[in-house]
Amino acid sequence: MADEEGASAAARQLIAAFGDDRDAYNNYMNHLIDGYREERKDASRAILFIFLAIFLFEVLSSKGVKEAEVFAIKLSDFGLVRAAIPVVISASLLKLISTINELDLKRRLVVALAYERFGGSRTIDFYDVLMPEPGLVTILRSAGFQKRRKLGIVFGYGEVVSAVFIPVAFIVYAYWRLFDAGTPVPIVLLSIALSLALMSAFFVSFFDFDKDILPD
């Protein structure tokens, strides 16, 4: 994720461009904060969707479910639907990590802009007024701050496991269930190939956060 040095350099560049134009500075800050809040909602919806997909897979895997009607079409063989769910989860995780990166970038840049413009300490309380909604992951709460970093990292790991690695583990489990249930092998292999492609992009995004600190 974008570090403080990159955020500070970007903030100095922006402030130099704004000059004495307070309206331009305020409008840009509002743009960042509004974008942060919207993307935070997107991230929350993505997490909810992932866990709903997990729940749906378990429901369709239940022996008590024999038939369902989707758009007036009766389904009695859920193999194809179940095979599609891990792919959907993989795509949702890729979207989620992209959103997490954007949240981290915007929060760091807001902190750096306020610090470079007005000086003072980088305490978390003041910036909670600017961004009152909690971050998706606790580790975001300490992004750009000198204090509470260790606490944020400790709790952040737990939230990362819940929001990211549990779904990843479930994908592996889902394929085991699909093979065990006798789902046609070509369908499962196609699903695995699609999931692997999406998960490869996910892990690249998860571990490679080098990007321009200045958002659009």
Nearest residue to 80 (alpha-carbon basis) of 194, 176, 191: 191
Distance CA 92, CA 202 (A): 10
Contacts of 85 (CB under 8 A, 6+ apart): 53, 54, 56, 57, 60, 174
Distance CA 127, CA 130 (A): 5
> What's the rounded mean pLDDT across residues 4-31?
80
Write out pLDDT tens, residues 79-98: 788 899 999 999 998 888 88
> What's the rounded mean pLDDT across residues 52-56?
92
Strands (E), the chain: 68-70, 73-75
Distance of CA 79 to the CA centre of its chain: 29
Q: Which two tokens stand for residue 177?
A: 């269930």
Asked if residues 110 and 29 have their Cβ atoms less than 8 Å apart, the reply is yes
> What's the rounded mean pLDDT across residues 84-113?
85
pLDDT band at 212, cuts 50/70/90? Answer: very low
Write out pLDDT tens, residues 141-195: 444 444 455 555 555 566 666 777 889 899 999 999 999 888 888 999 999 999 9
Q: Which two tokens stand for residue 28?
A: 């840009």
Q: Which secondary structure element, helix H or strand E, spans residue 196, and what is its range?
A: helix 185-207
Write out pLDDT tens, residues 15-25: 888 887 888 88
pTM given for the model: 0.71
Tell me the percentage of the chain whose pLDDT exceeds 70.
66
Entry field: residues in the chain: 216
Tokens 């889902």 correspond to what residue?
174
Distance of CA 189 to the CA centre of its chain: 27
Domain limits of the chain? 4-207
